[in-house]
Amino acid sequence: MAIIIIVIFILGYAAIAFEHTIRLNKAATALVTGVLCWTVYVLFVEDKETVTEQLSHHLGELSQILFFLMGAMTIVELIDAHDGFDIVTSRITTTNKRKLMWIIALLSFFFSAVLDNLTTTIVMISLVRKLVADKNDRWMLAGLIIIAANAGGAWSPIGDVTTTMLWIGNQITTGNIIKKLLVPSLVCLLIPILFMRLVFKGNVRKPEQEFDSNDVSNPSKAKHRNIVFFSGIGILLLVPVFKTLTHLPPFMGILIGLGFIWIITEIIHSEKDEADRKTYTVGYALKKIDTPSILFFLGILLAISALESIGLLTSASAWMDATLKDQNVIVMSIGLFSSVIDNVPLVAAAQGMYDLDTFPTDHYFWEFLAYCSGTGGSVLIIGSAAGVAAMGLEKIDFIWYLKKIGWLALLGYFAGAIVFMLMN
């Protein structure tokens, strides 16, 4: 059974990687792969009810990610519909590629620590679309955003789901993880930037902007733009606060935030005709979000949860513990493995393998695991939530990312890891 599921996963993974070659949408392939893995699993066991319970348990966790993604995308679409990002893009006047690269990278790095790597990627790619017309230039900046968002999320307890898992599990504390991982995470970003600046030269071409006289003559439009922009960004910033105060999952914060901004947009456009207000509604924004990417995410996570349910991930972790022995090698291997398999089940498996008696709170092992699991996923575009979101939003090719960005992410990953080990 395990061999069949592994073969299905590998074939599905290959089909996703070569999406443009075989001309099959990655969302369709991911859904088939995910469902087939669970189908094989349930057919080979006698206790069907247990498998169904496992699937329901995993679906509950997966739905949290999907609803969060859907809510964040909708809020970003609403801001975009009101031209809210012009507030930021109008202040970024440079067309120099190197300067723009630094601005985008540092904004993504620090935004990610406050928001999270997924939301930051969605917001920053939306900004880049307003600034850069050329697809290849946008893809290069999107790759940098993925690296920056994952690096920025690693040193904050609310910046990456795996760091949050370790924080909730009492493996790490807020002050200590910031102190120990800020510098290595920054190095993880700076190394790719230094290499990228050697090839990313010249000036970018900005998209053609249609002049709208309403921007000048209609002050209410500017007022609505400001209200929606600051409301949307404020809601995204308050999601971690909501989680901290209520202990409810992040998707609950994003959903209540979506509800609030829905009410706000309904009120500010209440006097308009139905036809005029249509493009500013949440219903319209929901139609514009990238639904295939959400389904792709669902398929991938279903397949991974099947591997976890049959015990394959735990067995792999146990094998590494017995074979590799060295803590640094084990944790760095988990980090690299997270670029292929989602980092959430890998960290969950590590939490199950080692208790707080073995490695107490703020132990070197947990801190290094937070860094490696957070940044290792940047090596492949489907290795992190940020990468999956960018892939869906910009239709980035898997092989292109591997050739142009993957090796930069790998250099940054090892550089940050070395700095962390030297610091300790």
When mean pLDDT is compared across 127-141, 174-188, 208-222, 260-274, the lowest value belongs to 208-222
pLDDT (tens digit per residue) in 374-421: 999 899 887 887 888 888 788 888 889 999 999 999 999 999 999 999
pLDDT (tens digit per residue) in 242-253: 877 888 887 898
What is the reported pLDDT for 216? Answer: 46
Q: What is the number of other CB atoms lying within 10 angstroms of the CB of residue 267?
A: 10
- Above 60 in pLDDT, residue 126? yes
Domain boundaries, the chain: 65-161+185-290
- Above 50 in pLDDT, residue 214? no
The answer for residues whose C-beta is within 8 angstroms of residue 204's C-beta and 6 or more apart is 95, 97, 100, 131, 132, 133, 134, 137
What is the C-alpha end-to-end distance of the chain, expressed in Å? 43
At 213, the pLDDT band (50, 70, 90 cuts) reads: very low
Q: What percent of the chain is modeled with pLDDT above 70? A: 96
Which backbone phi and psi does 96 adopt, to 5 degrees?
-70, 125
pLDDT (tens digit per residue) in 274-300: 777 888 888 888 888 878 878 887 888
The answer for residues whose C-beta is within 8 angstroms of residue 412's C-beta and 6 or more apart is 147, 151, 187, 188, 189, 190, 191, 192, 375, 378
CA angle (5, 10, 11) in 5-degree steps: 100
Task: State mean pLDDT over 184-190.
Answer: 95
CA–CA separation, 10 vs 303, rounded Å? 10
What is the reported pTM?
0.73
Residue 55 identity: L
What is the reported pLDDT for 182? Answer: 94
